[in-house]
Amino acid sequence: MRWKQHCGWRGEGVEEVVLTGTLARVVLCNGMTREDRQTGSALEEWREVLRPEQVITGSELDAYLVNCLSITRRVLAALWPENESEVQAIVRIAARHEVRIYTFSTGHNWGYGTSMPVEDDCVLLDLSRLNRILQMDGELGLIRLEPGVTQGQLFEFLRENDHDFFVPTTGAGPSGSLLGNALDRGFGITPEEDHFGAVRSVRAVLADGSIYESSLASLGMPMAQSSWKWGIGPYLDGLFAQGNYGIVTAATLALGRRPEHIEVYVFTVDDKGSLPEVACRCRDAVTKLRGIAGGIKFMNQAQLKLTLDTSEVGMGLAPQFAWVGFGVLHCAKAMVKAARTELKKSLAPHLSQLIFLNDRRIQRFKRLAKFARGNLKKKIERQVQQGEDILQIVRGQPRALELRLVYQHVPEPPDGPKDPVKEGVGVIWYAPIIPLKQATIAAMVAAIQTTLRSYGFPEAISLTTVNERCAMGVIPIIYKRPEDRGNAHQCFDTLLQEGKKAGCFPYRLNVSAMATLPEDGPTFWKMARAIKDAVDPDHLLSPGRYGL
């Protein structure tokens, strides 16, 4: 929608005002937009405080503009700070010139937006060079780090310094940002499944360039703050999770200590309709074994086949099943036998098969492979590798195993790190919050399968428990990029609506779906926007993020 005007805009000649959604873009009489002029002035100042390679414009921006969602945005520039002081300087300059900036950690949130802003006419703030591990308390398992620190980097740090703690791994693989995932409330199946729950303190740059610190840390007691997440007074750190109230430059995470024994129990279910009952049986078993049994991941055969390129888990499990589940035991060796007995008692009558996958079982199959020949030998060796990958993930070693499932329309790189954006992958994740009740699970699984089938996508479904009451769905919409983009986004929109009918909504949204959040109405959103107006009155920080 366009209006031609000549009355001026804050003293400037205005040719027209272009409305895109809720955003007004002012086109000046000289053909430049108001944002272009403001950004040009800001760029002059940014170049004074940053090195040339830290200010990215023109064709060099192209690398930031590709994404697995196949969406486009008008991006004005990108900035690549190396420390908190540079972030402060960038924000203060942006505030002076009313330039909007959109922040991301490493841009490896595949299927949620990568480095794309929610709205047009932003300058990107790439925090990947803020990648220092600032402090480690090996006694309490507390680590303070910057947003550019990756899963792989933390794993190497812990190994090199002989710290026996889990890395909070996710399916994004070794190159994923730890803080980026935590601040979007990601999860995994290592201890501290809820990754934002593991965030004990936050340090952030606010819209005026000032520094926010958690309550006790701001009083000079950072260790007390890191030991007790809630601090004293109102809990404000939560504003920085799925919010845009500031730019997090460091945070302290609580890491889970590795126990004496870790193993995986793997089970299958033959009857498609039995998953809701089995999931609730698993819920009750995990509740009994609290602190010993961790998260459980359920996958239907379609999801497993996309991930492993085969429907055979192996290790003694028959290949015919409707659902497969992976759970974790982490405890002292003396407790293993009792835990296994309880799981067998609680689950075995309701399952098709149940095995325990550990180093001893892996070694047994390795010995078997030595005596096998031809295709059988290759098959056993592949299954051994799959088993080792699963054990490494639950031990906190980042792997790209789950990332394999998105490579359906483009070749998967044989070795080395994966980059789905650069490799042409098209994927959108639908991740609903599913209460662990039989009726809800049944309704959601049926709705997801029906929707995926109607749009011609694989009926691939996985659910991961994040506590004793809730599971998160992880549903990939894998499409040919960019030609099938429209169909993929329509499928996501339908999944969103069908989930709402069942009382389920995603725990996180991709950047193109954030506009679906209510603009007004419930008091929650009014309050969230009132806080935004107070701390960032010009709405310069990550505009539109989660509807704010």
Average pLDDT over residues 156-168: 95
Judged against a pLDDT cut of 50, whether residue 50 lies above it is answered with yes
Instruction: Output 225 or 397, whichever has higher pLDDT.
Output: 225
Q: Using CA atoms, how far apart are residues 73 and 20, in angstroms rounded to an integer?
A: 12
How crowded is residue 227: how many other Cβ atoms within 10 Å of its Cβ? 16
pLDDT tier for residue 414 given thresholds of 50, 70 and 90: confident
Which pair of tokens denotes residue 345?
Answer: 């008692």
How far is the C-alpha of 432 from the C-alpha of 148, rounded, in Å? 27
Residue 251 above 50 pLDDT?
A: yes
Give the Cα separation of 295 and 144 in Å (integer): 25
pLDDT tens-digit readout, 502-523: 999 999 999 999 988 987 789 9
Answer CATH for 425-511 from 3.40.50.2000, 3.40.1710.10, 3.40.462.10, 3.40.920.10: 3.40.462.10
Whether 298 and 267 have beta carbons less than 8 Å apart is answered as no
Q: Of 232, 257, 42, 244, which Cα lies nearest the Cα of 140?
A: 257
Burial of 19 (0-12, 13-18, 19+ CB in 10 A): exposed
Is pLDDT of 10 > 70?
no
| Least reliable range by pLDDT among 515-519, 526-530, 542-546 | 515-519
Q: Which residue has the tokens 């070795």?
A: 415
Residue 247 vs residue 386, higher pLDDT: 247
Higher per-residue confidence, 173 vs 274:
274
* Predicted local distance difference test score (pLDDT) of residue 32: 62
Residue 98 banded pLDDT, cuts 50, 70, 90: very high
Separation of alpha carbons 462 and 445, rounded Å: 10
Secondary structure tally for the chain: helices H, strands E: 15, 20
Return the percentage of the chain with pLDDT > 70, whole number.
94
Burial of 411 (0-12, 13-18, 19+ CB in 10 A): exposed
- Alpha-carbon distance of 366 to 384, in angstroms, equals 7
Q: Where in the chain is the domain with CATH 3.40.462.10?
A: 425-511
Main-chain phi, psi angles of 77, to 5 degrees: -175, 175
Q: Round to whole Å and give the CA distance between 370 and 374.
A: 11
Write out the residue limits of the CATH 3.30.465.10 domain(s) in the chain: 133-254
pLDDT of residue 24: 45
Of the two residues 487 and 387, the one the predictor is more confident about is 487
CATH of 2-126+539-547, one of 3.30.43.10, 3.20.20.70, 3.30.460.80, 3.40.50.970: 3.30.43.10
> CATH 3.30.70.2190 region(s) of the chain?
261-394
Q: What pLDDT, in 10s, does the model give residues 322-354?
A: 999 999 999 999 999 999 999 999 999 999 999
Let me know if domain 133-254 sits in CATH 3.30.465.10.
Answer: yes
Could you give the maximum distance between any two Cα atoms of the chain, in Å?
86
The pLDDT value given to residue 543: 96
Percentage of the residues of the chain whose pLDDT score is greater than 90: 73
**Residue limits of CATH 3.30.43.10 in the chain:** 2-126+539-547
A 10 A CB-CB count for 378 gives: 12
CATH of 261-394, picked from 3.30.930.10, 3.30.70.2190, 1.10.150.20, 3.30.70.2740, is 3.30.70.2190
Query: What value does the mean pLDDT take over residues 165-170?
Result: 92
